[in-house]
Amino acid sequence: MAGFRTDRVGILIQEKIGELIVGGKIKDPRVDSFLSITRVEVSRDLAYADVFVSSYKAGLSKGVAGLKSAAGFIQAQLAHSMRIRATPRLRFHEDPGIREGFEIIQKIENLTEDHDSRLYSAE
């Protein structure tokens, strides 16, 4: 039962932080709308939430630093919009997953282009 509740709280935190980022509510210039919250892991006692942030653009570490700087504001916004007794303390972490996936897709496209050009030049 506790796992279900932490999962729900994590999803809600992910949605709310995403809305704050996309809506431009976080005024730190390091936080841009290309940041994406990939997942949130909430502790069993709901005291902490590890927020994993990714981006396909460069500057992920600056964006995470901006979110860490704005953590108090974000937590206050979460407390205002969520119906739980205590809002988990936020800890932001870099997640290079989106950028790595984007790079892999580019490599695959380059390989297929090279393969296609070799086929046409052989004819």
Domain extent listing, the chain: 2-96
* Architecture of the domain delimited by 2-96: 2-Layer Sandwich (3.30)
The token duo for 107 is 């490599």
Its pTM stands at: 0.80
Higher per-residue pLDDT: 82 or 16: 16
- pLDDT value of position 5: 86
Query: CB-based burial of residue 4 (10 Å sphere; 0-12 exposed, 13-18 middle, 19+ buried)?
Result: exposed
29: β partners: none
Buried/exposed code over 52-79 (b: 16+ C-beta within 10 A; e: otherwise): bbbbbeeebebbbbbbbebeeebbebbe
Angle ∠(16,53,29) on CA atoms, nearest 5: 80
pLDDT at 123 over 60: no
